[in-house]
């Protein structure tokens, strides 16, 4: 009888240990997922930023962007007064990146103007920090 009780105690101990390890694994997995969710920044898109008064402006900007930096510069000349920051700053930074191969001097000038205008609290500020070393 004593050996049977000893075997039952050992089996109960092993099953309890297994259940405890499964629970710990689940907790670790949920914790890891929560950390990933916090660590993974949301990808900011220019289209999501406020500042474009009219949806038609967005469509015309997209068409200009497809045509190249010259068309974007013309678009900015026409519609700059209708677009506010942070959307305007994002568009200008897109222009800076697009024109940098053709006209690095102009790219740096536009970048400096945007950098001086945008506050650190702006959603565009992180992008400015990423581009800063390239366009100083």
Q: Map out the domains of the chain as residue ranges.
A: 1-40, 46-132
Summarised one tens digit per residue, pLDDT across range 43-61 is 777 777 888 877 788 888 8
Residue 63: what are its φ and ψ, rounded to 5°?
-65, -45
The least confident of 8-12, 39-43, 113-117 is 39-43
Query: What is the tens place of the pLDDT at every residue in 59-93?
Result: 888 899 899 999 999 999 988 888 888 888 889 99
Q: What are the residues whose beta carbons fall under 8 Å from the beta carbon of 72, sequence distance 6 or more?
A: 61, 64, 65, 91, 94, 95, 98
Cα angle: 116, vertex 57, 121; to 5 degrees: 30
**Angle at the Cα of 67 (from 64 to 72), degrees rounded to 5?**
40
- pTM of the predicted model, to two decimals? 0.67
């Amino acid at each position: 009888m004593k050996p049977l009780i000893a075997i039952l105690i050992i089996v109960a101990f092993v099953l309890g240990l297994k259940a405890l390890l499964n629970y710990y694994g689940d907790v670790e997995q949920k914790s890891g997922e929560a950390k990933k969710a916090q660590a993974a920044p949301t990808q900011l898109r220019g289209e999501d930023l406020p500042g474009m008064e009219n949806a038609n402006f967005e469509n015309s900007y997209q068409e200009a962007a497809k045509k190249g930096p010259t068309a974007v510069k013309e678009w900015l000349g026409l519609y700059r007064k209708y677009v506010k920051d942070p959307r305007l700053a994002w568009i200008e930074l897109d222009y800076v990146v697009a024109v940098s191969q053709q006209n690095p001097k102009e790219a740096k000038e536009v970048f400096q103007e945007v950098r001086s205008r945008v506050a650190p609290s702006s959603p565009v500020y992180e992008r400015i920090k990423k581009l800063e070393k390239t366009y100083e």
